[in-house]
């Protein structure tokens, strides 16, 4: 997460995705300005940037770490519920759970329970 301070006084906060080294243009996702307006993504021209502050460094936590932490706190969640929490596809959750199982961090019985989606 970064705060981009523009020459006109605006500040835009978002997740830094890419920087064009030639033009210094930056691409942000999950953007919010000082007035609380949000945007899923934006490109900011390098020539309009005063400076950039890093608000939080990138997380080194892997997907498996996140899912394992979630399951420790609530083992009753389904794969679809975990996917919604992390804003990812259920297939990604399923793959991560299989990797955790192979590492011996999740027992087979827990994997079976996770695959039996709750009917609502």
> What is the domain partition of the chain in residue ranges?
2-54, 63-115
pLDDT of 56 over the 80 cut: no
Q: How confident is the model at residue 76 (pLDDT cuts 50, 70, 90)?
A: confident
Q: Give me the residues paired with residue 18 across strands.
A: 27
pLDDT of 58 over the 80 cut: no
pLDDT of residue 71: 87
Contact between 31 and 14 under an 8 Å Cβ cutoff? The reply is: yes
Q: Do domains 2-54 and 63-115 have the same CATH topology?
A: no
Structure tokens at 117: 């989606």
pLDDT of residue 48: 95
Contact between 66 and 104 under an 8 Å Cβ cutoff? The reply is: no
Structure tokens at 26: 């930056």
pLDDT of 42 over the 90 cut: yes
Q: Quick one: CATH architecture of 2-54?
A: Roll (2.30)
Does domain 63-115 match CATH 1.10.8? no
């Amino acid at each position: 997460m970064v705060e981009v301070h523009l020459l006109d006084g605006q500040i835009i906060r978002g997740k830094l995705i890419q920087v064009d080294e030639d033009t210094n243009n930056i691409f942000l996702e999950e953007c919010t300005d000082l007035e609380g307006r949000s945007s899923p993504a934006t490109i900011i021209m390098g020539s309009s940037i005063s400076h950039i502050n890093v608000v939080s460094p990138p997380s080194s936590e892997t997907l498996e770490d996140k899912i394992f932490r979630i399951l420790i706190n609530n083992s009753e969640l389904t794969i679809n519920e975990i996917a919604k929490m992390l804003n990812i596809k259920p297939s990604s959750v399923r793959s991560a759970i299989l990797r955790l199982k192979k590492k011996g961090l999740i027992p087979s019985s827990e994997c079976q329970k996770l695959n039996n989606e709750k009917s609502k």
